[in-house]
Amino acid sequence: MHHLTPDEIADVMSSKSYTVFTDSRGHDLNLVGIRTSDDSANRFNDYFAVFYRYDQAWTHFLFPITTDPGTYWRENPELVKGTAIVKPGQYRSAYKIGRHRRYKALQQVGTITVFRDANKDRLLDTTGVDEDSGLHAINIHRASATRASTQVDKWSAGCQVFQDPDHFLFLLALCEKAKTKFGNSFSYTLLEDSDFDV
């Protein structure tokens, strides 16, 4: 997955009738999570792609993240109805530069749909479970502030979480530049690696 190009990601987005942002002034950001089929618990085994047009060429970056809750929250859901697992889709204007706990992050401000996994085991359940659309504090943030984390643990109860704080700070810097041109509103698209199967 780490060899995916912006064109490949954009093609999948277009095939699903999702919007691909292409303003050539730069920093018209496409923020795309890619959930891999590796469902090993507690690992940063997914990807976060950031890409945008500038003078008709793509600028792009790919970072390791988790799109899944850590083992702790799978076994100890915060809510009786179950731990949140973001459902693949495109969520327009769902984020702004805001806060996660006490630090700057991308804060959920628009509706996102999640699966509710309530059986308290280590496995992700996304079929035969309830779906829940609304404001769930599904933020985009980092794990440790000081180092790249090796395990998800309590860092995610459903949020999209960066493994490396330096990668996350780089994302925020891009978002700040985007904010000056397009406003404090960001869309997020979650794909699956199976979307890229030929």
* pLDDT of 52 over the 90 cut: yes
Q: Are 93 and 106 contacting, i.e. CB atoms less than 8 angstroms apart?
A: no
* pLDDT of 1 over the 80 cut: no
For the whole prediction, is pTM greater than 0.85?
yes
Tokens 């699956």 belong to residue: 192
> Cα–Cα distance between 144 and 9 in angstroms, integer?
28
Tokens 């502030």 belong to residue: 145
Q: Are strands 57-66 and 46-54 parallel, antiparallel or unpaired?
A: antiparallel
Average pLDDT of span 102-119: 95
Instruction: Count Cβ atoms below 10 Å from residue 121 Cβ, excluding itself.
Output: 11
* pLDDT of 13 over the 90 cut: yes
* pLDDT of 97 over the 70 cut: yes
Q: Which percentage of the chain shows pLDDT scores above 90?
A: 79
Which residues lie below 8 Å from residue 128, measured CB to CB, with a gap of 6+?
Answer: none
Q: Are 124 and 68 contacting, i.e. CB atoms less than 8 angstroms apart?
A: yes
Q: Which token pair is 8?
A: 């490949």
User: How high is the mean pLDDT of the chain?
Assistant: 94
Q: Which token pair is 61?
A: 């970056």
Tell me the three state secondary structure of residue 24: coil
- Enumerate the β-bridge partners of residue 85: 115
Please, which pLDDT band fits residue 20 given cuts at 50, 70 and 90?
A: very high
Q: Where are the domains of the chain?
A: 6-196
Which residues lie below 8 Å from residue 137, measured CB to CB, with a gap of 6+?
Answer: 108, 159
Which residues lie below 8 Å from residue 165, measured CB to CB, with a gap of 6+?
Answer: 142, 143, 144, 145, 146, 147, 148
* pLDDT of 77 over the 80 cut: yes
CA atoms within 13 A on the CB side of 88: 16
- Enumerate the β-bridge partners of residue 133: 113
- The DSSP call for residue 87 is P
Greater model confidence, 61 or 24: 61
